[in-house]
């Protein structure tokens, strides 16, 4: 069982979410080693008591659990199996916990490759956004061996509030894809509703207020729709990442023969949004694209 103050943790990927998650591990008292492509974010955590590793292999040699929080499937593969990757620093009983949102199929393959090095893998993609990462209240969707997950729970509990074990490795990633397609479909609906009201001269702020009092109430309507209305679109969760996640969901559906029209439309719309140069804005910027395509300016 992992223990604060004793069990050493490694964290790779200090982006918007990862840096806050790593900081919560430090606050809980876990000895922490960090690695990131951008050195500045590493130095911020070193000032707070973390140790820096020059490579993922060096980090893996020094810790009991490696946590990843990376943008996409190729990034995870490179960190795990590339030159000076985690696999080169693997030791018996090492555990890799991947909180990234990546391909479920690739995750199953990565787990099998790590197993040949004596390393167990848990996929634990998260939901809740940057504020939940700061507050340590993320929702964790877990795939992997139950006993391995149980051993990691003291670590996971520093970062999250809700934990659901969904099945074997890869199950967490599949459910994260479900999470993203539901968010995207709801965001498409909210974006259309705002554009429709603006076209008819109805105040979309009051529309949102009315909908929040009824069955249409949702996290997206509460948060994302407000961002569209206020045009506060700094990420957040970048549009490029939502496009990536929608493609992952579409790929999973295609492999299983599932009819997914909302997801297919989401892939197209978020691709179009990224092509307008808004790939670095929050995913809620989809609302601006819908308004533009509706002939609404300003």
Nearest Cα to 55, choosing from 26, 79, 31?
A: 79
Is-catalytic flag, 199? Answer: no
CA dist., res. 102 & res. 123, Å (int): 9
Which of 6, 115, 176, 244 is labelled catalytic?
A: 176
**CA distance linking residue 10 with residue 26, whole number of Å:** 11
193 in Cβ contact with 228 (< 8 Å): no
Residues 6 or more apart from 225 whose CB is under 8 A from it?
190, 193, 194, 208, 284, 287
SS3 of 79-127: HHHCCCCHHHHCCCCCEEEECCCCCHHHHHHHHHHHHCCCCEEEECCEE
Cα gap 63→155, rounded to integer Å:
13
Residues taking part in catalysis? 176
């Amino acid at each position: 069982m992992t223990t604060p103050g004793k069990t050493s943790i490694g964290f790779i990927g200090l982006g918007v979410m990862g840096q806050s998650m790593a900081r919560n591990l430090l606050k809980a008292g876990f000895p922490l080693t960090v690695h990131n492509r951008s050195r500045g974010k590493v130095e911020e955590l070193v000032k707070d008591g973390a140790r820096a590793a020059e490579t993922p292999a060096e980090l893996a040699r020094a810790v009991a659990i490696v946590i990843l929080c990376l943008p996409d499937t190729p990034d995870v593969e490179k960190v795990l199996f590339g030159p000076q990757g985690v696999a080169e620093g693997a030791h018996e009983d090492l555990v890799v916990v991947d909180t990234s949102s990546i391909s479920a199929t690739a995750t199953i393959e990565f787990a099998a490759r790590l197993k040949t090095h004596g390393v167990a893998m848990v996929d634990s993609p998260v939901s809740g956004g940057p504020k939940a990462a700061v507050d340590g209240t993320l929702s964790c969707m877990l795939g992997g061996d139950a006993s391995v997950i149980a051993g990691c729970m003291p670590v996971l509990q520093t970062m999250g509030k809700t934990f659901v074990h969904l099945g074997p490795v890869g199950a967490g990633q599949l459910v994260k894809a479900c999470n993203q397609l539901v968010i995207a479909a709801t965001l498409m609906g909210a974006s259309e509703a705002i554009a429709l009201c603006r076209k008819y001269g109805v105040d979309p702020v009051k529309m949102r207020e009315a909908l929040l009092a009824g069955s249409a109430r949702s996290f997206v309507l509460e948060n994302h729709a407000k961002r569209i209305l206020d045009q506060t679109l700094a990420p957040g969760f970048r549009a490029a990442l939502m496009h990536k996640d929608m493609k992952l969901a579409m790929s999973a559906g295609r492999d299983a023969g599932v009819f997914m029209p909302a997801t297919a439309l989401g892939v197209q719309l978020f691709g179009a949004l990224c092509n307008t140069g808004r790939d670095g804005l929050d995913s809620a910027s989809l609302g601006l694209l819908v308004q533009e395509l509706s002939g609404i300016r300003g």
